[in-house]
Chains A and B, each alone.
Chain A
């Protein structure tokens, strides 16, 4: 058993270097992936955004030309505005998810079935959600269309109306997003300490007060994750726009991620540089939130130590 004796003779310094090496070795595969599929493409996109390039011909350096054009582009501002609406309204998923979670957090017969029914929209694909809602809004046969016609007597084709279309798509997006937040809160509620609830009840806390001062503080980790996934979900809202309207009517439901795809990769696109410039702007917006989240996590970690 020579190797084992050799192991015992390791100097403390060697052992320490081994210990400090191990985490990096474990990190290496993930870090390499992150580098190849995230970090390097980010810089490549920035690089491409300074060129005019159709993907086939040689690239032509135009400096900030794409950005100059972007800031004079109505379609860009429409997309930006829609992204802001998405962000604002998508936040509703967090309180709505909390409410449903509180409602479902009880022990009655068959509660598991109710929970899974509420969770159902998150399991089905976004493409299917988009299709269901397109039919829901569809003129002439859609359920919602018929309902509005029956109530008001007027006909509203949500997905063909420039003022309503974005809201119509956001509602479709909220359906699975609420389910997602609900699941996060349901798991969080399991971790709420029953003794604290008991103590608060003895002190006479009830209803909103109980929720605000006792339950919610204990749900902070769940709230944090729910916020993160909702912000990211809102900013990368692509599938629903693509399925339900393709950005239409006349581009009024575009969001930045869809506009980027249209310019760079769609049938009439292949303006790689311009698409990359849009991507860089979207990245900058995301960076605001990402830095915020990272800063908060770093602060919490430091506080925990």
Chain B
């Protein structure tokens, strides 16, 4: 009697425990998608994943975008989630090198990602292994005010020389040819990256940002010489402006061109610009015949080394790599999918970006602060800003950058 009772209890417990255990496989995701569009995108993604895997319960921890950059260092070492988002390129190197991210080459191999995510494969690879899955990127380029071009009677330039020639005409009309807001430093890096990619090409740019070429090299000086040509026509107070303030100058017709990422389109349109007044062009050619490289910062998802539910985390990575999910997500984000079988929304700027990036035969750079080491990024972007204010100090600035490069290469 007693025996059968406990046996019954055991069976009961098993019966209760089994489905509960099956249902209670949780997948924890830490993400900085706290802005409205990214949050909607990740919520939809999670809903789809849970629908496809009813036995997995996804727990999403949202962080503020800036705070996340600090928080990730704490939670990776202290209390790992199963998935964390981050950025491609050198920006993930500290976590890869210190063993905080898991090698996910098997996810790439099993799902044929080397082919479908081919355009971002190199930026996800360190030591021949892949360390995460990219899910979105966006192009950089020159956004311009079509009304200003019309009023000044200027054609959209194809080459850098034409661009510089236009600047003189804009100046005569009292308009800043090129605008930027360098208060936060990073917008300057977009200009530098493109000037270097167009002057010296992708290979050189990668070697420079990874610290293999000295900053005092003549080819680097050539980049700054090109830059100096447009400085007299660049918004004077850029060092006091945030990027949004400079966007306002373009909207108001006080500036003609702005080297910025596609995320700025929303700001331009909030300011009243439409597809009829806002134009997009690739950064013009400087050295003729160079394979065209572009700049497209990539956002990624990773499995921390301390993840508890690795099996489901890998399934999740495979899921966000799929063409359908990337199409859906990027429609909400207003950005570009990486999977080559995905489709892009009919927004003209996204279409232009998709064409631009899919035909970039030179290569795709991440962004200065993701390609270069963090230390080099900070000193470099400060140098760019100083150069934009005091172009005659170029030699001293390059010496300083070289000192930092030499030390961090040590």
Contacts and interface: CB of A to CB of B under 8 A. Distances in A.
Contact of B389 (A159, A250, A262, A265): A250
Interface string A33-57: 0000000000000000000001111
Nearest to B378: A268
Contacts of A74: 400
A56 B77 contact: yes
Interface in A118-173: 137-140, 155, 157, 159-160, 162
Contact of A54 (B98, B240, B377): B98
B385 interface: yes
Contacts of B389: 160, 162, 249-250
A112 B24 CA distance: 64
Nearest to B248: A140
A149 B20 CA distance: 72
Contacts of B70: 265
A266 B374 CA distance: 10
Given A162-B389, A250-B386, A270 B240 contact: no
B6 interface: no
A180 to B, nearest CB: 29
Interface string B371-410: 0001101100011011001000000000010000001000
- Secondary structure at chain B's binding surface: helix, strand, loop or mixed? helix
Given A74-B400, A268-B374, A249 B385 contact: yes
A216 to B, nearest CB: 42
A: contact size bracket: 20 to 34
Interface string A201-222: 0000000000000000000000
A139 B77 contact: no
Nearest to A58: B98
A255 to B, nearest CB: 16
B240 A269 contact: no
B355 to A, nearest CB: 32
A162 B110 CA distance: 55
B359 interface: no
A251 interface: yes
7 nearest A-B residue pairs (beta carbon): A160-B240, A160-B239, A268-B378, A250-B386, A249-B239, A157-B240, A56-B98
Interface of A: 54-57, 69, 74, 137-140, 155, 157, 159-160, 162, 245-246, 248-251, 262, 265-271
Interface of B: 66, 69-70, 73, 76-77, 94-95, 97-98, 100, 182-185, 236-241, 369, 374-375, 377-378, 382-383, 385-386, 389, 400, 407
14 contacts: A54-B94, A54-B98, A57-B94, A139-B240, A139-B241, A155-B236, A159-B240, A160-B239, A162-B389, A249-B183, A265-B70, A267-B374, A269-B378, A270-B374
